[in-house]
Chain A
Amino acid sequence: MREQLAEYLRAQMPDAHELAVTALERKSGGASRETWEFTARWMRDGQAVEGAFILRRDPTGSLLESDREREFFVLNALHDSGIPVPKMYWLERTGQWLERPFFVMERVPGTAPVGTFPPGYSESVQVRVTEQFIDILARIHRLDWRAYGFDRLGVPGAGVDAARTQVAHWQRIYRQERLEVHPLLERAFAWLAAHAPTSDRTTLVHGDYRSGNYLFTDDGTITAMLDWEMVHLGDPMEDLGWACMPFWSGRGLAVGLTSRSDLLQRYATISGFPVDEQRVFFYEILGTVKMTVIALTGVRTFCTGKTREVSLPLVAFLIPRLLRDIAEYLGW
C-alpha cells in the first residue's frame, strides 16, 4: 500500500520530487473508517520537506455508512474558523489508488482520552481541557453556518422538524441494519416520535461530541475535534444530550470530565444560549437509541461478512447496557 500511496501523493503534488512514504501504520479505532498514520518526505525547490498525515479510508463495512464528502467539506471549511480541526488535504472519491475511496488530512499532535480523563495529569490540566471542550462546542453552535455554506447539509424546518428528522434518520438505519427486532427500541422510537421537542434555533451540530473525539496536549490544550462524520444542522441541545449520556460518563462525570450541571451551566454562559433541560433529556434518549443503532450496524457488518475488523462484533456486548439505559429512560 505504501508505494500506491506514494504514487497518489506524487500525482497530487507534481512539484514534489523524490517523494517517499514512511512509517505507514494502521491505527485502531476509527469505527466508521480505517485510520492510517504515515509520514511523507519530499524535495521541493531544493528543500527537504516532511509532513505527518492521517489517511482515512472507506472500510469494506463499518458501523456507519457515513458521508465522507460531507465530513471533508465541513472540516475543510472550518479550518480557519477558530474551531480546532485537522487541515484537510485531499479527497479521493474512487478506488483507483487504494482500492477504496479515502481522504488525507493533517496529523495533529495530542492524546485522545476515552472514558475517564487519563491519570497522571494535574487537576489544572483537566480543568483546562474541560473548559475548552465546552467552549469549543459553544463556538461550533454559534458559528454562522450560512456564511460557511453549510446550508447544503440540509436545513431543518422550524419547530419539531430538527428532532423528527433525526428520529426518522436513525429509525430508517435501524430498520435497514437490524438482524432482529428489538421491542425496547421499537417503543423508544415511538416515544421519540411522539415527544419531539420544538427547537428554538438551528446550528451546526457535531453529532458525536464526546471523549475519544478530541485531542489534547500535555499542557491541556485541545488541538483538534475529530470524527465529524455525523455532522448536520439541527438543534444545539442534541450535542449536549449526546455528551451527557451515561454511556460516555466516567466516574460519574459527563464525558469523563465534569458534572452534568457544570457542563450545561458553562455551556449556557459561553454560548449565550439557554439550556433547555427537557430538550437535552430528549436528545439524551435519542443519543442512546442512536448509539444502539450504531452498535447494531457494527454487528450486522460483521455477521454479513462486510468487515474483517474483529473489534466490530465486540460492540454487540454493549447493546444490553444501552438497552438498559433506554428501559430506564422509558420507565420500563
Chain B
Amino acid sequence: MRPDIGDLIEGIKRSLNEEILPVVDNAFAREQLAYTLFLCEHLARRWDQAHIFAQGEHDDLRRTLAAVVEIGCRCTAPTARLVASLEAARVALSAAPDITSQPLRVVSSFSQSLTERVVQLLDACEESAPADAAACTAIADALRAFVQRQQARDEQWVTDVQIGWW
C-alpha cells in the first residue's frame, strides 16, 4: 500500500529539513530538529527490516533453547536449580506460539520471555554439579554462542549510526 511507512518518513524528513528547519532560529530547537531528522534517517533505513530482525532473533532463541533442553537430558546429577531452569525453558518453548503472523511487539515480547530463560540457565550452569560439568559446559557454550550472535545482530542493526556521547 502506498504511501507506505517509508514514504511517510521520507515526507516528514523533507518537511522538517526544507520547511521547518530553515525558519527556526533558536539553537536548542534547531538541535532537537537535527536529532529528530537523525532518528528519521534511521527509521527510513530500518522500518521494513524490523520484523525480519525480530523474527531472526526469536528463531535463534528457540533453536538455542531447544538444543539446550536436549543437552540437559544428558545430565546425570543436575542441581535442583538447573532442573528447574531446564523445565522453565521447556515450558516457555512450548508456550511460544507460531510467530510468523504476529505483530512485531508480540514477537519481541515472546523473545524477551525466552531471553529470561537464557539468563536463568546461565546462572544455573554456574553452580553445576561436578558430575555434570561436561553437560553444563555444553549448555553454557550454546547459550554464550547465542549471546554472541545476538550481540552481532544488534551491532549490525546500528552499524550505520555514527554518534558519540556528549
| Chain A residues proximal to chain B, CB less than 8 Å | 25-29, 31, 114-115, 180-181, 183-184, 186-187, 190, 212, 247-248, 309-311, 313-315, 317-321, 323-324, 327, 332
Contacts and interface: CB of A to CB of B under 8 A. Distances in A.
Interface in B27-48: 27-28, 31-32, 35-36, 38-39, 42
Nearest to B150: A183
Name the 3 nearest CB pairs between A and B, nearest first. A310-B35, A26-B28, A320-B154
Given A314-B38, A314-B39, A324-B151, A332 B144 contact: yes
A28 B158 contact: no
B89 interface: no
B28 A181 contact: no
- Interface size class, chain B: 20 to 34
Contacts of A318: 163-165
| Centre residue among B150, B151, B157 by max chain A CB count within 10 A | B151
A1 to B, nearest CB: 12
A67 B8 CA distance: 42
16 contacts: A25-B26, A25-B28, A27-B28, A28-B31, A114-B164, A184-B147, A186-B122, A187-B122, A212-B165, A314-B38, A318-B165, A320-B151, A320-B154, A320-B157, A324-B151, A327-B148
A186 B119 contact: yes
B39 A313 contact: yes
A311 B164 contact: no
Interface string B111-124: 01001101100110
Interface string B1-45: 000000000000000000000000011100110011011001000
